[in-house]
Amino acid sequence: MVLSYPSPQRLTVTQAEYQRAWVEINLTTLADNVRQIKRLLKPQTQLMAVIKADGYGHGAVMTAKTALQAGADWFAVATSQEGITLREAGIQAPILVLGAINSLEEIKAVVQYNLQPTLCSPQQALIFSDTLQQLGCDLPVHLNIDTGMSRLGTAWTEALEFVQFVRQLPHLELVSCYSHFATADDPDPSFMELQHQRFKEAIAQWQQHHLEPPMLHIANSAATLTDSCYHYDLVRVGLALYGLYPESHLRHKIPLKPALQIKARITQVKTIPPQSSVSYGRRFVCDRPLRIAVVGIGYADGVPRALTNQMEVLLRGQRVPQIGTVTMDQLMLDVTTIPDLQPGEIATLIGRDGQDVIPAEEWADKTNTISWEILCGFKQRLPRVYLD
Ligand SMILES: *Cc1c(COP(=O)(O)O)cnc(C)c1O
């Protein structure tokens, strides 16, 4: 009863010639980012590549294979289904499921596919142990300790009892205890330091009770880049793998390059007379004759409609303004500066064309969100094209 994760079409570069729009992913860049991050870590610190949400839109399987070759040791996904997709693609590295698993069916799938679950509470640990008793097998597990995120996990003040409880339950092999920062990308480190302090207090308690410590981890991309004091036994890195910085103050730490670009084709070029309005709701009206181009990409592909009249697109290495409401499948550009533009030419919506770059952060800033959401927003309708 395992459903397969809907995966976007995967195309070769030549097949992309016939596409209206696509996501282009440079695997060499992705591998370079992995190596840069590894270089930042002590030899004993392992790299857990976070490839939830289909590898932040990059394609989880291709990202996993590339990251493994470049030195990733572990993978983290959000759901058991995402883990199953990796196993079915032949990935054998350990996979941690970060999200909560509660149903009996899902526990069975986790066992069957050799995934490693997160346990958030003693009650959940008990359910797992009972189920494993019935199945007649053991399972490696990871405990989530809540130090201030107030999402999944057991409070750090009860971490000792949680660990002791799990240790005495049959069929559970405690592999790691971890926590998650709420503000690691904030230039003000005070709350991150408080969470870290709480994590250290929990660890100190285990030590006082002579509990053999499991593996420990707390760092996401931002904490990994911020300071090696957060690295512990492994780091859980998502955004930085894909070449984006969680915050601009972390840019100087290591050189990273975005692996993803968004490209779409010009489908029509024409001149419209003065006083014409462009697109739904007439939110753009021209006061002179205007050379416009239609591009075959829209909000159903992941271009936020909120970028209407605000975004720019790269054409022949120069920025041109987008005009009128972004529609479901198409958007329009003012191409006055490129009078001989032809249908079939490729527009770069995110990425580099010549000397200029439009980063995902630019969309995030303009739509008042974060680059994580922009990356995860590219829909299945856009085929993924991989460059080596
Ligand atoms: C998503 C996630 C990460 C990765 O976060 P980035 O900021 O993308 O590096 C790490 N840990 C947990 C628990 C997560 O949910």
**The pLDDT of residue 213:** 83
Half-sphere exposure for 132 (CA within 13 Å, toward CB): 19
319 labelled binding-site residue? no
Going by pLDDT thresholds of 50, 70 and 90, the confidence category of residue 8 is low
257 has catalytic annotation: no
Mean pLDDT of 329-337: 98
Look up residue 333 and give its two tokens: 């550009």
* Element at 363 (helix H, strand E): helix 360-366
Backbone angles phi, psi at 315, to 5 degrees: -135, 125
Residue 135 is classified by DSSP as H
Return the closest-CA partner of residue 159 out of 175, 147, 151: 147
Please indicate whether residue 258, judged by its CB atom, sits closer than 6 Å to ligand 1: no
149 CA to centre of own chain: 19
Chain segment 83-135, per-residue pLDDT in tens: 999 999 999 999 999 999 989 999 999 999 999 999 999 999 999 999 999 99
2-6, 167-171, 359-363, 366-370: lowest mean pLDDT where? 2-6
**How many other CB atoms are found less than 10 A from the CB of residue 144?**
24
Phi, psi (degrees; rounded to nearest 5) at 335: -115, 30
Asked if the model's pLDDT at residue 81 lies above 80, the reply is yes
- Spatial CA neighbour of 305 closest among 324, 285, 278, 284: 324
C-alpha distances (whole Å) from 233 to each of 46, 67, 183, 215, 230 are: 6, 18, 21, 6, 9
Say how far apart CA 280 and CA 113 lie, in whole Å: 48
Give nearest CA residue, ligand 1 atom 13: 180
pLDDT band at 42 (very low <50, low <70, confident <90, very high): very high
* Atom nearest to 239 CA in ligand 1: 8
Mean pLDDT computed over 52-57: 98
Q: Is 322 exposed, middle or buried (0-12, 13-18, 19+ CB in 10 A)?
A: buried
User: What mean pLDDT is predicted for residues 11-19?
Assistant: 68
Using DSSP, how many helices (H) and how many strands (E) does the chain show?
Answer: 11, 21
Across residues 260-273, what is the average pLDDT?
97
Smallest CA-to-CA distance from 21 within 297, 370, 377 is with: 297
pLDDT tens track for 291-314 = 999 999 999 999 999 999 999 999
Measured CA to CA, the distance from residue 229 to residue 239 in angstroms comes to 20
pLDDT for residue 388: 86
At residue 17 the predicted structure's pLDDT band, cuts being 50, 70 and 90, is low
**CB-CB neighbours of 327 under 10 Å:** 18
Q: Which residues pair with 319 in a beta bridge?
A: 314
Mean pLDDT confidence for 232-257: 96
Among 63, 98, 178, residue to substitute to test ligand 1 (most atoms within 8 Å of Cβ): 98
Q: Which atom of ligand 1 is nearest to the CA of 236?
A: 10
Amino acid identity, position 302: G
Question: Among the options 5, 200, 280, 299, which is catalytic?
Answer: 280
Shortest-distance atom of ligand 1 to CA 144: 13
18: pLDDT strictly greater than 80: no
pLDDT in tens, 197-207: 999 999 999 99
Pocket test for ligand 1, best of 77, 220, 230, 373 (most atoms within 8 A of CB): 220
Element (H, E) at 262: strand 260-272
235 lines ligand 1 (CB under 6 A): no
Q: Could you write out the DSSP letters of every residue in 307-348? A: GTTT-EEEETTEEEEEES---SS-EEEE-TT-TT--TTPEEE
| Residue 151 known to bind ligand | yes
**Which pLDDT value is given to residue 3?**
44
Tens-place pLDDT, residues 268-297: 999 999 999 999 999 999 999 999 999 999
For the CA of 180, the nearest atom of ligand 1: 13
Q: CB neighbours (10 Å) of residue 104?
A: 12
Token match 């000792």: residue? Answer: 160
pLDDT tens, position by position, 150-161:
999 999 999 999
Q: Is the pLDDT of residue 69 over 80?
A: yes
What is the rounded distance in angstroms from the CA atom of residue 190 to the CA atom of residue 316?
A: 46
Catalytic residue among 18, 38, 42, 52: 52
pLDDT-derived band at 255 (thresholds 50, 70, 90) equals very high
Q: What is the pLDDT of residue 1?
A: 39
Amino acid identity, residue 366? K
Using an 8 Å Cβ cutoff, are 64 and 49 in contact? yes
pLDDT of 11 > 80? The answer is no
- Whether 236 is in the pocket of ligand 1, judged by its Cβ within 6 Å, is yes
Q: Record the pTM.
A: 0.95
Which residue's alpha carbon is nearest to atom 15 within ligand 1? 98
Task: State whether CATH 2.40.37.10 applies to domain 260-358.
Answer: yes
Instruction: Say which CATH topology domain 27-250 has.
Output: TIM Barrel (3.20.20)
Residue ranges per domain, the chain? 27-250, 260-358
CA pair distance 306, 339, nearest whole angstrom: 28
Active site residue 52: yes
Q: Is 117 helix (H, G, I), strand (E, B) or coil?
A: strand
